[in-house]
Amino acid sequence: MTRRVSRRRLLAGSVPVAVGLAGCSFRWGPKNDDADGRATTADPADDTGPSDGVATTERPNDDLFRYLSVTAGDPTYRRWQPGTGDRQGVQSIAYNVAYARDFRSDLPASEYETRTIWAAVYGYVGVEYEELNGVIGGIAGRGAAYVGSFERADVTERLTTTPYQRFETAEGVDYYRWGRSGGTRFVAVGDAGVVAGPARQDADDPARAFVDETVPLFATAAGDQLRRHEESATYERYTDEVGWPLSVWIDPPRIAAGEGADDVLPGGSAVPDDVAASVRVGYGRSVAGNELVDRYWLWTTADGPAGPETVRAAYDDPEVRAAALGDTDEGELAVRRADRVVDVAVQEPIADSGGGRDPPLVAADATVESGTLTLEHFAGDPLPLAQVSVPVGDESLSLGDGMLPPGESLPVDLPDGAAPQAVVYSPPAAATRIAIAIL
């Protein structure tokens, strides 16, 4: 019996969750300046596969795909994506915060908060939310890069209001650390942007490990080291076409491996096994007027058991289409094929837009002594206490109402024997949360 995977479950299982515990009505989106050079040659080892000379579109939705490519913005995140010859840092997903802000009134509150919460995952690192254009997550599996319109000098000055202390300057990058109660955090500030993340628990010298991992990333961002799209014609084509929408997968294994593809394919395990074993999967989510669009970019490998025609034909199967649409009752599915690429777009009408709240960026820490938890807020945005709680067992302690401004602290009486592990922020509309302090 075929196990049907709903689209909502599919996305939930393939897109990281921000938990910090242990037709369309078209409009233009933001356009980012991309200083990247275009690749002129491809690595001979790159599996672009031979073209079969076919470039067809079988459905009247080609305008949708052109729209998504144009309005998603340039893929500036790939400046930070090292080439395959130097993989000290690997990212998995990029969130376009500027895009979400521009379309805030069009997005459901839950969607806006789900995409922008990533700006707050590592707290306040000297970057204001209004200056932030995007967050590139999963660097070395432990950190994030922040890119935007902020000035380096402003970031370093703001860090002086936090407990972060500069401990080194390497290759023109300033390095800071903060020995928080839940573990040391690091921030690196360079001309290209800011990188932040926690200490590696498996490193003998976590500070040295953070420096060694991030120096090549800043060199890549500056163009001093080869970037992935300059090595791989497939990766360049994918990022050119998908751009940088609300969120986009940029993890090379997702692009380079067919194994496990049924976990991320539209249609899930309803897709035939030979198709799942023959495609490399890319993904991006966009807003198109009054609809959300999930776009899947399926590259058919040259040596897989199924060819492009077979992959394309799979999405004519009613069971596969139903699984791809999942519980999107009023959604539509559009498919096109161009050479070895099969594009699948799932459109979902937006029922209730607007109202999403910006995430608070805070530099906070918490300690427990004599049955009292003290939450100390050092810098950043005022913290809305109604959205903050302390999980204790199966319950959560409320911190009350009002705002906790920078420079103030809040005591919380704990139940007898309580051993909380974190203080968490939960957005009003999104079903996710982040830890603003870990104990």
Task: Examine the pLDDT at 48 and tell me if it is beyond 80.
Answer: no
Predicted pLDDT of residue 13: 33
What is the distance in angstroms between the CA of the first residue and the CA of the last residue of the chain? 46
pTM: 0.85
Task: Examine the pLDDT at 24 and tell me if it is beyond 60.
Answer: no
Predicted pLDDT of residue 250: 87
C-alpha to C-alpha distance for 422 and 412, rounded to whole angstroms: 13
| Span 306-334, average pLDDT | 92
Predicted pLDDT of residue 264: 85
No. of helices (H) and no. of strands (E), the chain: 12, 22
Question: pLDDT tens across 187-213, in order?
Answer: 999 999 999 999 988 899 999 999 998
If one compares 375 and 290, the residue with the highest pLDDT of the two is 375
| Span 299-315, average pLDDT | 94
Both tokens of 325, joined, read 């649409």
Kindly give the interhelix angle for 318-325 and 7-14, rounded to the nearest 10 degrees. 60
Model confidence band, residue 16 (pLDDT cutoffs 50, 70, 90): very low
C-alpha closest to that of 421 among 385, 391, 379? 391
Domain 362-438, CATH:
2.60.40.10
**DSSP of 70-128:** HHT---GGGGG-B-TT--S----EEEEHHHHHHTTTTSBHHHHHHHHGGGGTT--SS--
| Span 106-125, average pLDDT | 96
Predicted pLDDT of residue 68: 73
Predicted pLDDT of residue 263: 75
Model confidence band, residue 138 (pLDDT cutoffs 50, 70, 90): confident
Residue 385 and residue 403 in contact, taking contact as beta carbons nearer than 8 Å: yes
Residue 356, C-beta contacts closer than 8 angstroms, at least 6 positions apart: 104, 107, 108, 109, 110, 111, 112, 113, 116, 429
Kindly give the interhelix angle for 62-71 and 233-242, rounded to the nearest 10 degrees. 90
Most confidently modeled range among 13-17, 136-140, 175-179, 234-238: 175-179
